[in-house]
Amino acid sequence: MKLKNPLLVVSDLEASKRFYREVLGLRVILDFGANVTLTGGLCLQTQESWMGFLSKAAEDISFGGNDAELYFEEENFESFLTGLEALEGIRYVHPVKEHSWGQRVVRLYDPDLHIIEIGESMKTVCRRFSASGMTVVEIAERMDVPVKYVTACLR
């Protein structure tokens, strides 16, 4: 068995396509009307067609459960944040924060309250720590990862 695509149900397909294009840089690569596939394999499905697939009413479909997220990594995290600040209407789950292992992340909601996490890539975290003067061993300890992992990230 092979996982093919994550799929999100959306109430306004055009608004969702615009969000994923403007915020995350994803493009439509397949468009079947009520279902589109974006670069990276993410699929968006209209709520109306989804209700038909499941034989459910609109009140049976809920958004904003805060129980799952789509995770993205960004090599140029600072540039991404600058671009994000320039966009209107972004709803944040939380502002930028740094996890215990040193990775900075921001979480936001898409138009249907699906959580999107964007984190700086782990390579970027290793490079940031290295540039601050930390040794490979110190970075590994700080990030709670093997030295071999840090060495690979710094190549």
Longest dimension (CA), the chain: 59
Q: Token match 């009140």: residue?
A: 59
What pTM was computed for the model? Answer: 0.92
In tens, the pLDDT along 58-109 reads 999 999 999 999 999 999 999 999 999 999 999 999 999 999 999 999 999 9
| DSSP-H helix ranges across 25-146 | 47-54, 77-85, 122-131, 136-143
Q: Measure the CA angle with vertex 24, ends 23 and 28; round to 5°.
A: 110
Residues 141-151, mean pLDDT to the nearest whole number: 97
Q: Which residues lie closer than 8 Å to 136 by C-beta, 6 or more apart?
A: 130, 147, 150, 151, 154
Percent of the chain with pLDDT over 90: 100
What residue type is 98 in one-letter code? E
For residues 26-34, give the mean pLDDT. 97
How far is residue 118's CA from residue 92's CA, in Å, rounded to a whole number?
11
